[in-house]
Amino acid sequence: MDTLTLQSPLDMHLHLRDEQMLQLVAPLTSQTFSGAIIMPNLVPPVDTKEALIAYKSRILQAIDDHQFEPFMTLFFKEYSKEFLESVKDEITAIKLYPAGITTNSEGGVESIDVISLAPTLNAMSELGIPLCVHGETNGFVMDREKEFMNIYDALASEFPDLTIIMEHITTKEAVDMLDRHDNLYATITLHHLLITLDDVAGGMLQPHLFCKPIAKRYEDRDALLEVALNAHPKVMFGSDSAPHPQHAKEACGCAAGVFTAPIALQVLAELFEKHDKLENLQKFISDNACDIYNIKPLKKEIKLKKYPFEVPAYYKKGDQQVVPMYANQTIQWSLM
């Protein structure tokens, strides 16, 4: 097959940043995606109704005239039920970060214990607001996600009516969790389907592949591929495309994040085709997410063709310059 049509692709985990970076990266997602879950880890984090509404309108201004819906999230802290009721119609989920675990997460949760978080999580359950979680402890870097599994166990069993999304899973332990609790789901990134720690640090250090959670072992990547390629109904695509200026990536003290927005759909097509699973891409890229979040995306038909595309060395606007995954390399599918 040399062409592929996708209906309303969704990116269920996306960083759009703000100001000039937002202006640069937002159109690169909105050109191909019908909508995206927008991460709230700005400085300061998006944790009030006013900040959320203002951020949404800045996003809508930045997307040119593309048809695109930003699904907004709040940064998790302890919120009252009254507040959540008042903001419910403006948000699609709330994102929980353990404090200090990744970029701009200093204001996150210091200790995730089900008793102290119960008032907020019960209110979210009752109001039907999903909880998205960055699931890492601050242990040894390769074990951080695995060590977080007992926290997922506790959250999922203590709050059985709360929809919990394990964001950007990277391990076979997280894949196994999907079968343990009805209310646990997961997003999977493009880069974690493609790379292992070998690609990041096995040869010359590759700062543009450095992200959190770090890419893991081959058996972990295989477990992720298995559920993504077969469009397991509890997994969905979330790019975690996380742009940082080139100078912040190519630095002593490299910022975490892989920028995949402009190539995500094309490379997913290449990956699913390689494994003879192209017929499952529609579910992974949109249908599963619609079922999990109970959303109806804007109608948008995207056509791809099997035709080589040279990925640019960088994307630039004003004084912002960002390097995408596969910069200066050729990928096998293009946008039509």
Among 270, 333, 328, residue whose Cα is nearest residue 303: 333
Return the DSSP state at 129: -
In the complex, least distance from residue 46 CB atom to ligand DOR, rounded to whole angstroms: 13
95 binds ligand DOR (CB under 6 A): no
In the complex, least distance from residue 240 CB atom to Zn ion, rounded to whole angstroms: 4
In the complex, least distance from residue 168 CB atom to ligand DOR, rounded to whole angstroms: 7
92 binds, among ligand DOR, Zn ion, none (CB under 5 to 8 A by kind): none
103 binds ligand DOR (CB under 6 A): yes
192 binds, among ligand DOR, Zn ion, none (CB under 5 to 8 A by kind): none
In the complex, least distance from residue 41 CB atom to ligand DOR, rounded to whole angstroms: 5
Choosing from 10, 62, 155, 211, the residue that interacts with ligand DOR (CB under 6 A) is 211
70 binds, among Zn ion, ligand DOR, none (CB under 5 to 8 A by kind): none
Residue 240 annotated among the catalytic residues of the structure? yes
Given 240, 287, 291, 319, the catalytic residue:
240
Token look-up 């559920």 returns 227
Cα(87)–Cα(75) distance, integer angstroms: 13
Token look-up 């400085």 returns 43
Cα(238)–Cα(228) distance, integer angstroms: 11
Q: Left if phi > 0, otherwise alpha if psi is -120 to 50, otherwise beta: which for 152?
A: alpha
Site for ligand DOR in 107-136 (CB under 6 A): 134
Burial of 187 per CB tally in 10 Å (0-12, 13-18, 19+):
buried
Are 166 and 185 within 8 A, CB to CB?
yes
257 binds ligand DOR (CB under 6 A): yes
Q: Which residue lies nearer to ligand DOR by CB, 96 or 304?
A: 96
Residues ≥6 apart with Cβ < 8 Å to 28: 261, 262, 315
Q: What tokens appear for 102 in the block?
A: 């990744």
102 binds, among Zn ion, ligand DOR, none (CB under 5 to 8 A by kind): ligand DOR
Residues ≥6 apart with Cβ < 8 Å to 176: 223
Q: Give the bridge partners for 83, in sequence order.
A: none
Site for Zn ion in 109-138 (CB under 5 A): none
**SS3 helix, strand, coil % of the chain, rounded to 5?**
40, 20, 45
Residues ≥6 apart with Cβ < 8 Å to 153: 177, 180, 181
Separate counts of helices (H) and strands (E) for the chain: 14, 15
266 binds, among Zn ion, ligand DOR, none (CB under 5 to 8 A by kind): none
In the complex, least distance from residue 243 CB atom to ligand DOR, rounded to whole angstroms: 8
Site string for ligand DOR, 24-63 (x = CB under 6 A): -----------------x----------------------
Single-letter code of the amino acid located at 128: G
Q: Which residue lies nearer to ligand DOR by CB, 187 or 280?
A: 187
300 binds ligand DOR (CB under 6 A): no
Choosing from 136, 240, 270, 287, the residue that interacts with Zn ion (CB under 5 A) is 240
Q: Which residues contact Zn ion by CB under 5 A?
A: 240
Binding stretches for ligand DOR (CB under 6 A)? 15, 41, 102-103, 134, 211-212, 242, 256-257
Q: Which residues are catalytic?
A: 240
